Structure 1
Amino acid sequence: MSLDIAIRLTEVLLSIAVIQQSLEHLFGLRDERVLYCIRLLLALLLLAGVQSQWVSLALFVSVLYMLRRFQGPYNGGSDLLSMLLITSLAVVHLVPEGRWQEYVFGYLGLQVVFSYFKSGWSKVIHRDWRTGQALVDVFEFSVYPASEATRGWAFRPRLLLAMAWAVILFELLFPLVLLSREALVVGLAAAMSFHIANFVLFGFNRFVWVWAAAYPSLIWLQARLDVLG
């Protein structure tokens, strides 16, 4: 995958993620409606490929406003990743074409890898995750819109122990996707399955599109490392 194609795919997928986020706020407080209507318009322009350089810069300005308005990321991990993607795109369009763009996009890809590893590390150092109790608590006491059948999984501790370690090992081993194209395919398939499962079970709908938007940078980075190797 060429750098130009990877950047354009990131713009398209990120646009969809921002559109989704913006639509959720159209019936909120007045200042929120104004902000997210602007972001919705900018996302549509980015999706269409209209003045991507200035649109991504405007989205970056909206990110700064959101950090001030909500005293930090509004919705945790999905918003943090959105901000990273928007910032990276803005910088990619501002720096000279060529090597500097590769540095920025390579940094983005490495951040995607590190985010999975960091998540796995934060789990494995906690006893509740190592014993499966963390998932028992998630399924039994979650405030998210999980079905009764899903909550019933809380009474299957052996299954949740296996699931907990599957998640931990997947996240800790995720950096291996950089070793080969085959490892990357397997890793991204597992990652997307993980995010879709969270959406189906708990309604984490924001994570699917925003993580998909992060993958072109990783696909490009792995191919670039293959060439350099």
Structure 2
Amino acid sequence: MALLEVQDLQAGYHDVPILHGLAMRVAEGELVAIVGPNGAGKSTLMKALFGLVRVIAGSVRLDGQEITHLPPERRVPLGLSYVPQVDNVFASLTVEENLEMGAYLAPYEVRPRMEQVLELFPLLRRRLRQRVGTMSGGERQMVAMGRALMLRPRLLLLDEPSAGLAPSMVDALFAQVQAIRRSGVAIVMVEQNARRSLEIADRGYVLASGRTRFEGRGADLASDPEVARLYLGG
């Protein structure tokens, strides 16, 4: 049984569907990349999975449990974490305070959970007292992902994690995503760097106009001439 299973999903804003009958699945510990042109519905999909936009029809199941119409605060205890593209840190708080905020469901396990996060993001260990608003974009993204991992999720949703980062930081971010996956956390990642994300993903979905245009192994999609011509810029 898939960890996440989506069937015939229609979702959107004010009863206007952006997603049209979309289906996808994610296995335990799997990294799945979602790519496609602007306006394809990628971020809407992420918000629908986390309960931030209205599902008009279809179903979302997490580990076999129906969560289609649950609000986000009821999805989190079931093992779902979400890192949005923007406004994903508390800029006025320190790194340590941001991580502590992430463990709000387990206040007596803050230190052991923080230690696990710092093993994944060793740079943050040296910045625990630094206010996050003074950090670079790549460092802030580490904080955002680290805070989401404080919940010990089974599935982590990442929306455009490399957006706005310097090229040197993009390599580090993708390495961190792979490290998170090796720790046993399944990941669904929407990413503007489509080719690179498909290359590291177990599987991928290419969206267009709110529908799945291609799906398959990530490496196969990255090397597919038609996918490259239509969606990867070459």
Does TM, scored on the shorter chain, surpass 0.5?
no
TM-score normalised by L of structure 2: 0.33
Name whichever structure is richer in strand by fraction: 2
TM-score normalised by L of structure 1: 0.33
Name whichever structure is richer in helix by fraction: 1
